């Protein structure tokens, strides 16, 4: 379980990005943070992998304060997918994914086999593995980003507007794939979006944030729709 316990964040310039906020994301589910730009979604997400420290309160992973982990070890257990997939431009698609198992000590061949399996899993045809990122469409690059985030087999996956830069039809396909993948892998996913329809489609629980970092609602999508 992922838990935000009375978390508050004020940046050095005085901006309060997150008001005192408490919520928890169940293990093996998709929890969505939704709200307009600037309401603190990214700040919350980055507190989980300690790219940002809370001003007060704590973030806990399976009951342990993230500050108690070695940061590098913590991040190995947390996949992170962002809007611009952030792929290495000078490595092939396959090697972008294979890098992760290589870094954790896999042999080259084994790493590549694993990377190929992951690319298949996220629905990319095998021959695309030989291309460079710039030779893929935006939606395909996002799939590679997801495959790379999954490569370390992390129990937790942070997804920050991963599908926002692709056109609506492709986005719907990516959402369906994420739901399918989630059913198969059962990760604990924290998913950020500013699109309420996306939140309702993907979230088992949805946290609605308002400007100024207030948690306005935290409920199952059906309950949100009823209001």
Q: Which of 35, 31, 6 is nearest to 220 (CA)?
A: 31
84 binding ligand ADP? (CB under 6 A): no
Between CA 160 and CA 167, with CA 165 as vertex, the angle to 5 degrees is: 130
Orientation of helix 108-121 relative to helix 138-150, angle to 10°:
130
Between residue 46 and residue 65, which ones bind ligand ADP under the rule CB under 6 A?
none
CB atoms within 10 A of CB 216: 12
Nearer to ligand ADP, 99 or 164 (CB): 164
Window contacting ligand ADP (CB under 6 A); options: 39-47, 69-77, 128-136, 148-156: 39-47
Query: Is residue 142 part of the contact set for ligand ADP (CB under 6 A)?
Result: no
Q: Considering only residues 37, 70, 105, 127, which one is a binding residue for ligand ADP as defined by CB under 6 A?
A: 37
- The residue range among 38-46, 59-67, 94-102, 169-177 that interacts with ligand ADP, by the rule CB under 6 A, is 38-46
CA distance 78 to 98: 17
H or E stretch including 61? strand 56-61
Distance CA 224, CA 123 (A): 31
Looking at the Cβ atoms of 35 and 101, the one nearer to ligand ADP is 35
Q: Which pair of tokens denotes residue 146?
A: 């997801």
How many residues are listed for the chain in this entry? Answer: 227
Does position 162 bind ligand ADP by CB under 6 A? no
Residues in the interface with ligand ADP (CB under 6 A) total 12
Residue whose CB is less far from ligand ADP, 16 or 219 = 16
Q: Closer to ligand ADP at the Cβ: 30 or 111?
A: 30
Pick 118 or 208: Cβ nearer ligand ADP? 208
Q: Is 32 helix (H, G, I), strand (E, B) or coil?
A: strand
Contact pattern from residue 5 through residue 34 relative to ligand ADP, giving x for each residue in contact according to CB under 6 A and a dash for the rest:
------x-x-x-x-----------------
CA 180/CA 174 separation, integer angstroms: 10
CB of 43: closest distance to ligand ADP in angstroms? Answer: 3
Q: How far apart are CA 85 and CA 114, in angstroms?
A: 20
Closest to ligand ADP by CB, 36 or 186: 36
Q: Count of CB atoms within 10 A of residue 213's CB?
A: 24
* Using rule CB under 6 A, residue 39 touches ligand ADP: yes
The footprint of ligand ADP (CB under 6 A) covers 11, 13, 15, 17, 35, 37-43
């Amino acid at each position: 379980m992922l838990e935000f316990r009375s978390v508050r964040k004020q940046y050095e310039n005085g901006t309060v990005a997150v008001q005192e906020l408490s919520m928890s994301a169940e293990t093996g589910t998709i929890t969505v943070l939704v709200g307009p730009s600037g309401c603190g979604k990214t700040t919350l997400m980055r507190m989980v992998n300690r790219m940002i420290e809370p001003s007060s309160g704590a973030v806990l992973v399976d009951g342990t304060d993230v500050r108690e982990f070695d940061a590098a070890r913590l991040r190995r257990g947390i996949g992170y997918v962002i809007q611009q997939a952030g792929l290495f431009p000078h490595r092939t698609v396959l090697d972008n994914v294979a890098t992760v198992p290589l870094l954790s000590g896999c042999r080259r061949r084994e790493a590549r086999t694993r990377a190929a399996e992951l690319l298949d899993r996220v629905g990319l045809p095998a021959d695309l593995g030989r291309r460079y990122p710039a030779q893929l469409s935006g939606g395909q690059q996002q799939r590679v980003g997801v495959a790379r985030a999954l490569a370390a087999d992390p129990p937790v996956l942070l997804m920050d507007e991963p599908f926002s830069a692709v056109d609506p039809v492709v986005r719907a396909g990516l959402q369906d794939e994420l739901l399918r993948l989630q059913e198969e892998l059962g990760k604990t996913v924290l998913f950020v979006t500013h699109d309420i329809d996306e939140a309702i489609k993907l979230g088992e629980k949805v946290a609605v944030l308002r400007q100024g970092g207030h948690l306005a609602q935290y409920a199952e999508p059906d309950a949100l729709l009823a209001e």
